[in-house]
Each structure stands twice: as C-alpha cells, then as structure tokens.
Amino acid sequence: MRAAARRLIFQAILTTTIGSAIVVVPHLGPAVTLLLGNLLGVVLIAASERLLPYRPEWNRSHGDVQTDLLHALVSGIGTTQLVRPLVQAGGVVVAGALSRALGGTLWPAAWPLAAQLALALVIVELPQYWLHRWQHEHDILWRFHATHHSAPRLYWLNAARFHPLDLGLLYAVGYVPLVVLGCPEEGIALFALFDAVFGMLQHANIDVRLGPLNRIFSMAEPHRWHHSRSLREANTNYGSNLIVWDLAFGTFFLPRDREPPRAIGIADMPDFPPSYLAQLASPFRWRALRAQPSRQVSGA
C-alpha cells in the first residue's frame, strides 16, 4: 500500500488541483480559481506530509515556521502582486507591437486549457533554468538566492522562502514571455496555479518515488540533491517545473546508489541568519556574513 502511494501521490495531487481548476475557471474566473486551487493544494500536500513523510524529523518545526510564513506572505503574495502590473504593462506593449507586425497573436488561444498549460510550461522553463543557474554561479545573484537555500529542512512551506527581490526577478523572467506571446488570463492563472502547487510538492516532505517521471518533472527526488550542502551536488537540477534543460545541459543529478543527504543548507555559511528581517538584510550585509568563520558541517 505504501509503495503504491509513493508512486501515485504526486500525480493524484497535481491532477486533482489542476484538473479541478480547468473545470471551474470558466465559471469562477481566474482569480477565484487560483485562490481556491492554492488552498486545495496546501491542504492535500500538508496532509500527505503527515501520512507519508519522507523524513519524519522534517515534520517537526526547526524554528523556521514563522520565517517561512512571513516569506510566503511577503514574497509569495506581496511581491507577485507588486511585480504583476509591471510585467503586464511591459509585456502588453511588446505583445501589441508583435501583433501588429504579424497580423495576430502568436498564442494558440483556441487550444484546450490543458494544452495551453503544457505549452506555457515548456516556454517558461528555459529562461527560468538559466536564471536559476546564474543565481548559483554569480555572486551578485547568489547573495539574494542564498535565502532559499538557508532552509534547515524541506517541507511544503519553504517553497516560498525567497528574498522578495529574488522571487520578483524569477517571476518576471517567467511571466513576461507568456504576456508577450498573448497568453490569455485563464492560461496565465492556470500556469500560476501549477507553478505554486508544483513548488510545494517539489519541496514537500512526502516520500515519493516517481521513477521515469523524474526525467520529465523537476520533482522532490532530484530537488533534494539541489539543497545539498555539497556544491557539487547542489549546483545541479535547476529546473523549476521540468527537468528537460538539466538533461540537455548536463546538470541533471540523481544517483541511484544513495539517498540525498539529511543535512541541507549552505555549507560555508552555517550561521546564515534564521530570522526573517535578518534574511531580508542579508544581501546587503553579504561581505560581513561571508567573513564570519564557518564551522565544518557534515553533509551526511
């Protein structure tokens, strides 16, 4: 029974949330559908962590819940609401110019919503892959992205542990192409719901075993290696929702002979500030934080 649940729970949660949204969005509208879909996703994923935990100790607070809640409210909700009008305004201008030049929009709005969602996932993945990779390779971006990797455990809520400027950039890079190509509001809302629910599943403390699907989706099994304290392991699996570009560019990492490390975080910054306000300030205190003596931390 547990083996079957491990293989099917990811598909069940994603199908339930996204399938329900496709059915109700013509009746409730994008905004209400997005809200209800997120709430449904939270309930299903949080319950699944209790019923089928990957690491039982990760279900206990590590003094991180308040910090992650504030990140979810400020970055997960506040930042996206602030950036969205800018993305729409800039994207619409470019979309209008393209439409006039080509005599119509490029987006296949007549396709079924499920097909539009699949297209959006493919289009968004490439720019987000390269941004995520550069966030690890360039210090000016890493100092903001490090907040996400400071999490002491993986569970659904730290999917939102992002510095607001980091998440704002990621949001813009993902959504500008959709607006420019003329993706309708319903399609964008459906993508936003998938992105949110998938992000929670990607970080969730659920014992999943996806087998071949790990070469399609950037799900929890490869993503746990991305949070390793070993840079050789962490600088892999950059995909946001799909793993295709990691496979194409040689950054896919999922060894079969061992489990991901229990200890996660930033090896050379074990004293990364745990409080929300200190994490907001961390990119602007970067030299001082990096100058702190680091302790030797095992990645096992």
The count of structural domains within the chain is 1
CA angle 223, 227, 233 (to 5 degrees): 85
| 2 within some domain | no
Read off the tokens for 111: 């396709």
Domain hosting residue 248, numbered range: 63-185+211-291
Q: pLDDT value at position 300?
A: 31
Is the pLDDT assigned to residue 296 strictly greater than 70?
Answer: no
Length of the chain: 300
| 29 within some domain | no
Average pLDDT over residues 38-47: 98
Read off the tokens for 48: 């699944």
For 214-271, the pLDDT digits (tens) are 999 999 999 999 999 998 999 999 999 999 999 999 999 999 999 998 889 998 888 8
Coil vs helix vs strand at 135: helix
Residue-wise DSSP of 139-188? HHHHHHHHHHHT-SS--GGGGG---HHHHHHHHHHHHHHHHHTT--HHHH
Task: Express as a percent the part of the chain with pLDDT over 90.
Answer: 80
Q: pLDDT value at position 294?
A: 54
Is the pLDDT assigned to residue 297 strictly greater than 50?
Answer: no
| 113 within some domain | yes
| 193 within some domain | no
CA–CA separation, 299 and 286 (whole Å): 23
For 65-124, the pLDDT digits (tens) are 999 999 999 998 888 888 888 888 777 777 777 777 776 678 999 999 999 999 999 999
| 203 within some domain | no
| 94 within some domain | yes
Residue 177 in contact with residue 288, Cβ under 8 Å? no
Largest CA-CA distance found in the chain, in angstroms, rounded: 61
For 126-140, the pLDDT digits (tens) are 999 999 999 999 999
| 45 within some domain | no
For 146-200, the pLDDT digits (tens) are 999 999 999 999 999 999 999 999 999 999 999 999 999 999 999 999 999 999 9
Q: pLDDT value at position 86?
A: 82
Is the pLDDT assigned to residue 293 strictly greater than 70?
Answer: no
| Burial category of 284 from C-beta neighbours within 10 Å (exposed 0-12, middle 13-18, buried 19 and up) | exposed
Average pLDDT over residues 3-18: 95
| 134 within some domain | yes
